[in-house]
């Protein structure tokens, strides 16, 4: 079974080597990779960072995540599809939180739009 399941919210430590306008602190992110493609030993996970800063959320390329018991969010946040990235598992810790399947589908569609796949 994979350690990082699509739709899960993880905590990623991006401190230390980021450039301006890249994630640069400890922040939550959503796992968006197809967890059936990668085994548990794969060194990276494809994620989309979450932010509570609405100014960073492009309306057509971000998904609003309102707080629920399932996602563990304490305030409204936004999944930033254009910032999709592969991050090292060494930067991550898992949580029991997750987004809905519908939100995951929307994020993946926005990623496809952002890279010109649809």
pTM: 0.91
Beta strands of the chain (E only): which ranges?
8-13, 26-31, 44-51, 62-65, 77-80, 85-88, 92-98
Query: pLDDT by residue (tens digit) across 67-83?
Result: 999 999 999 999 999 99
Tell the burial category of 109 from Cβ atoms under 10 Å away from its Cβ (0-12, 13-18, 19+). middle
Band of the pLDDT at 35, cuts 50, 70, 90?
confident
Please report which helix (H) or strand (E) contains residue 110, including its range. helix 101-114
Query: pLDDT by residue (tens digit) across 42-99?
Result: 899 999 999 999 999 988 999 999 999 999 999 999 999 999 999 999 989 999 999 9
Domains contained in the chain, CATH given:
8-114 (2.30.30.110)
pLDDT at 67: 97
Check: CB of residue 104 under 8 Å from CB of residue 81: no
Block residue for tokens 């969010």: 73
């Amino acid at each position: 079974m994979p350690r990082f399941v699509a739709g899960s919210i993880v905590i990623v430590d991006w401190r230390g080597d980021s450039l301006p306008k890249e994630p640069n602190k400890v922040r939550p992110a959503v796992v968006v990779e197809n967890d059936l493609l990668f085994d548990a030993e794969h060194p990276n996970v494809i994620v989309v960072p979450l932010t509570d800063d609405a100014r960073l959320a492009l309306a057509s390329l971000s998904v609003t995540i309102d707080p629920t018991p399932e996602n563990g969010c304490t305030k409204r946040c936004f999944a930033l599809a254009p910032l999709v990235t592969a991050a090292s598992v060494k930067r991550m810790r898992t949580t029991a939180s997750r987004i809905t399947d519908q939100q995951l589908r929307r994020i993946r569609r926005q990623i496809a739009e952002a890279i010109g796949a649809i």
